[in-house]
């Protein structure tokens, strides 16, 4: 399931250990790795947080987080939890207090000596982005970045920067204490099994790749729809919006995997060399093209069944006149030989009717439509790469309806991961944490890729800021966003798919 590289003894320090991400994703992922026997014998987690507490109190917090986010109270699990918790430690660290890092250094050194663990350390920045530079500088200040006594790696969460310029600035600052091999920019979409499977589908099989180009593909739709609103994250989201929250990172990374050239060999550099080329080839959308090629929307208060969903502007932490987008749809082009003039439609939104993430490859029609009049559905061959739910791959094509004549109907031939009964699909964070632990950065975003995607989204965000004429469309919760998003197709017969979850 995971990398075969040897996993060395190590320490995982989580900054922001009391936060939502740590509780919801990181601790459950680490515990899953532990129960799956993926962790080395000498391994400890050190929670680093601003709250004053001792190890025992933190162990109770970890236990509570696992109970909430990884519910499964079996006797075996109880037993392994008790052992696992002994490997969990805590050190109070105020991220902006430089002197606290001296205390952290002494604590980590003592712990590694006591437990006889080599000083291989991962620092996970599960903290607000404005603290990344400060924490990195504080680590450097006390030599916690030096590698003579063991390797040191930092995992940086998204958003990596707030714009093209700030991403470059952040990168410079991180590089002043850490080299590129030590920096792991996490994008959990790349950790999703089904995103990696896009590469396998394309490059293992002989029959997909020959048609994977402008000659046979009409358009590509990439959708990440969510049912939930910004619930409780209004403060963060209002200064981010769907473009920075989902498109700049997750969906452009997915696009890069869908559109990349086959690498000559399957290693981190070769793969990332190819994905970055796709991002660099994205045709810039100029300020005066934004209104035609990008549709932004914001959800409004809506009665759905018995419950009233508040509008985005009523969410906690959101400005009452906020123009932040909770929905974006983009028509993008990749200017290279493979994809010349094939539109890539990318869409994401909150409070949509389904929780679905998928990539749909729409193939061109057969050159001569013999059965056009008899077709009960639009003649349209599709390859559907389902990332969530029902993860798998499906092919949609026309079949004759049995009986007299030649009536045609579209049918689907599908593979679902769920059918592999014995196989547990690991959570993205499990996969990515383990990759960092073994020093494999293939599924982490490289600096040049991050820059290239900011280069694409920055002018769009700037156009929205300086040009109030560009509409912000309002949409009701539980709908597929503003119907204007269908105008991107430039053909009144075409519209976005409305997949079920």
Distance CA 286, CA 291 (A): 10
N-term to C-term CA, the chain: 26
Task: For the CB of residue 136, give the shortest distance to ligand BG6 in the complex, in Å.
Answer: 21
Distance CA 353, CA 465 (A): 29
Task: For the CB of residue 226, give the shortest distance to ligand BG6 in the complex, in Å.
Answer: 5
C-beta closer to ligand BG6: residue 396 or 430: 430
The enclosing H or E element of 432 equals helix 428-438
C-beta closer to ligand BG6: residue 9 or 390: 390
Interaction residues for ligand BG6, span 456-485 (CB under 6 A): none
Over the range 62-100, which residues count as b (16 or more CB within 10 Å of their CB) and which as e?
bbebbeeebeeeeeeeeeebeebbebbbbbbbebeeeeb
C-beta closer to ligand BG6: residue 29 or 342: 29
Task: For the CB of residue 465, give the shortest distance to ligand BG6 in the complex, in Å.
Answer: 21
250 is catalytic: yes
Question: Which DSSP string do the residues of 221-256 spell out, in sequence order?
Answer: EEEEE-SS--TT-HHHHHTTHHIIIIIIIIIHHHHH
C-beta closer to ligand BG6: residue 334 or 346: 346
Told to check if 315 binds ligand BG6 by CB under 6 A, we report no
Give the CB-nearest residue to ligand BG6. Answer: 245
Told to check if 226 binds ligand BG6 by CB under 6 A, we report yes
Q: Which two tokens stand for residue 2?
A: 């995971």
Nearest CA to 241 out of 462, 43, 443, 496 is that of 462
C-beta closer to ligand BG6: residue 90 or 454: 454
Compose the 170-209 pattern: x for residues touching ligand BG6 by CB under 6 A, - for all others. ------------------x---------------------
E strand segments, 99-216 = 121-125, 152-156, 183-185
Compose the 402-441 pattern: x for residues touching ligand BG6 by CB under 6 A, - for all others. ----------------------------------------
Distance CA 328, CA 318 (A): 18
Distance CA 160, CA 457 (A): 13
Told to check if 357 binds ligand BG6 by CB under 6 A, we report yes
Question: Of the listed 250, 309, 351, 362, which one is catalytic?
Answer: 250
Compose the 242-271 pattern: x for residues touching ligand BG6 by CB under 6 A, - for all others. ---x--------------------------
HSE value, Cβ hemisphere, 13 Å, CA-based, for 382:
23
Instruction: Cite the DSSP H helix spans in 145-218.
Output: 164-175, 193-204
Task: For the CB of residue 323, give the shortest distance to ligand BG6 in the complex, in Å.
Answer: 18
Task: For the CB of residue 301, give the shortest distance to ligand BG6 in the complex, in Å.
Answer: 20
Told to check if 358 binds ligand BG6 by CB under 6 A, we report no
Distance CA 69, CA 91 (A): 23
C-beta closer to ligand BG6: residue 356 or 447: 356
Told to check if 221 binds ligand BG6 by CB under 6 A, we report no
| CB 10 within 8 Å of CB 111 | no
C-beta closer to ligand BG6: residue 245 or 458: 245
By the 10 Å C-beta count (0-12 exposed, 13-18 middle, 19+ buried), 160 is classed as buried
Task: For the CB of residue 157, give the shortest distance to ligand BG6 in the complex, in Å.
Answer: 9
Task: For the CB of residue 355, give the shortest distance to ligand BG6 in the complex, in Å.
Answer: 8
Q: Which sequence positions are flagged as catalytic? A: 250
Q: Which residues bind ligand BG6 (CB under 6 A)?
A: 188, 226, 245, 357
């Amino acid at each position: 399931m995971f990398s075969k590289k040897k996993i060395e003894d190590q320490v995982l320090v989580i900054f922001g250990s009391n936060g939502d991400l740590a509780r919801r994703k990181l601790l459950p992922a680490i515990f899953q790795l532990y129960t799956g026997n993926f962790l080395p014998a000498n391994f400890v987690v050190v929670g680093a947080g601003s709250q004053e507490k001792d190890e025992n109190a933190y162990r109770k917090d970890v236990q509570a987080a696992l109970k909430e986010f990884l519910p499964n109270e079996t006797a075996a699990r109880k037993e392994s939890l008790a052992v696992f918790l002994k490997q969990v430690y805590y050190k109070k660290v105020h991220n902006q207090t430089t002197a606290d890092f001296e205390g952290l250094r002494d604590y980590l050194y003592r712990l590694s000596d006591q437990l006889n663990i080599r000083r291989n350390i991962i620092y996970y920045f599960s903290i607000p982005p404005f603290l990344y530079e400060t924490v990195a500088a504080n680590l450097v200040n006390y030599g916690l970045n030096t590698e003579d006594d063991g390797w040191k790696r930092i995992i940086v969460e998204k958003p990596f920067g707030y714009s093209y310029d700030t991403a470059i600035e952040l990168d410079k600052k991180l590089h002043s204490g850490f080299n590129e091999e030590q920096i792991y920019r996490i994008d959990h979409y790349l950790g999703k099994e089904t995103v990696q499977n896009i590469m396998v589908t394309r490059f293992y099989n002989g029959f997909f790749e020959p048609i994977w180009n402008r000659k046979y593909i009409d358009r590509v739709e990439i959708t990440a729809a969510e049912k939930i609103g910004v619930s409780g994250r209004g403060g963060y989201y209002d200064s981010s919006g769907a473009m920075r929250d989902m498109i700049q990172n997750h969906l452009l990374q997915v696009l890069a995997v869908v559109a990349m050239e086959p690498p000559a060999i399957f290693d981190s550099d070769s793969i990332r060399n190819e994905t970055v080329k796709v991002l660099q080839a994205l045709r810039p959308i100029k300020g005066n093209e934004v209104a035609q090629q990008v549709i932004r929307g914001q959800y409004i208060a809506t009665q759905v069944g018995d419950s009233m969903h508040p509008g985005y502007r009523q969410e906690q932490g959101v400005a009452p006149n906020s123009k932040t987008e909770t929905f974006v749809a983009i028509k993008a082009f990749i200017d290279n030989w493979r994809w010349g003039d094939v539109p890539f439609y990318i869409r994401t939104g909150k409070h949509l009717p389904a929780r679905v993430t998928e990539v749909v490859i729409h193939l061109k029609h057969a050159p001569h439509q013999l059965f056009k009049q008899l077709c009960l559905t639009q003649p349209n061959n599709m390859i559907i790469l389902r990332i969530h739910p029902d993860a798998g791959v499906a092919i949609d094509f026309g079949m004759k309806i049995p009986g007299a004549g030649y009536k045609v109907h579209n049918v689907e031939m599908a593979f679902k991961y769920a059918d592999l009964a014995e196989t547990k699909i690991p959570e993205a964070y499990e996969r990515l944490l383990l990759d960092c632990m073994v020093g494999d950065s293939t599924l982490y975003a490289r600096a040049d890729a991050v820059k290239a995607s900011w280069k694409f989204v920055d002018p769009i965000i700037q156009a929205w800021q300086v040009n109030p004429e560009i509409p912000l469309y309002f949409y009701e919760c539980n709908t597929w966003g503003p119907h204007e998003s269908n105008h991107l197709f430039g053909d009144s017969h075409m519209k976005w798919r409305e997949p079920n979850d």
